Structure 1
Amino acid sequence: MTLTQLEIFALVAELQGFTSAAHRLGISQSAVSHAIKALEQELGVELFRRHQTLVEPSDIGQQLLGRARAMLGLANTLQQEAADARGMKRGTLRIGSFGPTASNRLLPSILRRFRAAHPGIEVHVDEGPDRQVLQWLDERRIDVGFVVLEQERLDTFAVFEDQLVALLPADHPLAAREALTLRDLCDDPFILTEAGSSELVTRLFSAARLQPKVRYRCAQLLSTLEAVSRGDGLSIVAEASLPQASDPRYVKRALSPRVPRQIGLAVLDRRQSSPATLAFIAMAQAPGMASIFPAGHLSSTHP
């Protein structure tokens, strides 16, 4: 069993195809098939179920996939620790990001500084809903991910705080008020954005023993903005996720009482994190980044 075989195994599972994995690795499909066959023979199990257009891990393959990713992660950490002794000139960093706040507001500034300081580190960024970033961490597909805090089972590092705000059509009667309560938002149809802060919004109403009239569930913030602009309902979103350019069709209003939202970086175990991962986290928390982010800068939640 070799690390190359495990890398091919993990990539075939991720891309659900031998051809796609071969293209990603720059090798022939027959080489990928041979590596998987040799690994299956050595382990004595079938790792994949073959279908006409794709392949997927078998039950035992799915179980072993997590182990394989853990071994690859440790091997990468070993290589990076050796590289760190030489000035961290080589290595790979896999980042998970979600939504406009992390992907548009935070990540570009951090990456720009990180790449300038460590040009030899190859960076991969995967973007998905916040729940998927947590899943990627569990599956060890990424080294570090942006998350909404708190996440007690992970080692987390707070980097940014904004607040939740009410979003409503510009001509709505409530737009004349400076701040709104959760109860104010329960009479109209409600639009729930299922990314970034949806779980926080749901918990807020539940804690207040209120039930919004959820009529729409939007996967993307842009869809929520369009629905509110049309007058289809009201919503609650994270202020930092909104476009910086104002739109006359809708307005944002503060919530009363104020509801903060903290964004941080998370790893499964900081003790096993690679030097590149720790360097990225340190750069995100560097005092100089506070002037770049549109709101306050925070310190680590797990010392």
Structure 2
Amino acid sequence: MLAEVLHTLPQVLIDGLTLGAVYAIVALGYTMVYGTLELINFAHGEIFMTGAFIGTAILITLTGLGWIAVMPALLALLLVLVITSVLTGLIGMGIERVAYRPLRKAPKLITLITAIGISFLLQDIIRFITELKRGNYILTGPSMFTDRIDIKTSTISTMFNDSSFKESFIIVFVIAIIMMVCLDLFVNKTKYGVAMRAVAQDRDTAALMGVNVNKIIALVFFIGSALGGATGVLFAVQYGTIDPYIGFILGLKAFTAAVLGGIGNIRGAMFGGLLLGLLEMFAAANLAVLTNGMLGAEYKDVFAFAILIIVLIFKPEGIFGKVVAEKV
């Protein structure tokens, strides 16, 4: 059994890091908003999905105009990432201004229901537009970075099988790491980052100290949504086919990653996303082996959520979270 698990380990690491990077960046959106407003923005998964559709639509348009054949593919992807980030960031700001800001002092349950309503609204808007333009709500983007690279891990040790990955793995993983590092530096090293942390710690005191709370909260939504939208583009490039419902389950898993790492902790969200991606791919590859065929790869979500439950039983605040004393 152990030998079979080790055989799949290189491929599990590659696939798990790719998926985990996606979870990590989407989880950042959840944890930033929660850290600032103590709001679970369940529409964030649909922001990710919207970014995937916007980016894919732009790539299809550029391909139709012949621009992809002229400019380097990486340059085209970076251009699409920037455009999509700005558009989804503005969408996030609009959602905060219209749907969340008027309810800021309302009970948490009302805001939660509003977030769920926004997610369904975004799903149906994207589905309607896609069916209107393409006749089908399932969208396949142009092929980019599809060449496979083989790794002869069997030459290193007979315990491992050979593994392979698409060129898009390198692109997705490197860009994801860059985005996470830039966000961490922004939050911890800039004036706006200090203001964001001040608002997250005590909104009223930050306002008394001259911080424009509404502006900072809008900035949080812009950054979180921009990162989510850019990640949607990377997801579409890596996996090829998207539909309006990819944001639901992926957003739920990204939220799980944020809780696993410690909701409200940015570095915890990064770690939680990568860990969840690795656990999911490990389960997909090895559950049948570990259970003698009783459970297959389709039970990978059960495995990942079971790990989450175990972690939260013994450390409810998450791996990197801190116990906060409740003020009475």
Query: Which TM-score tier does this pair reach, normalised by the shorter chain?
Result: under 0.3
Q: Relative contact order: is structure 1 or structure 2 higher (C-alpha 8 Å, sep ≥ 6)?
A: 2
TM-score w.r.t. the length of structure 1 is 0.27
TM-score w.r.t. the length of structure 2 is 0.26
Q: Which has the higher helix share?
A: 2
Q: Which has the higher strand share?
A: 1
Specify the structure having the higher radius of gyration (Cα).
1
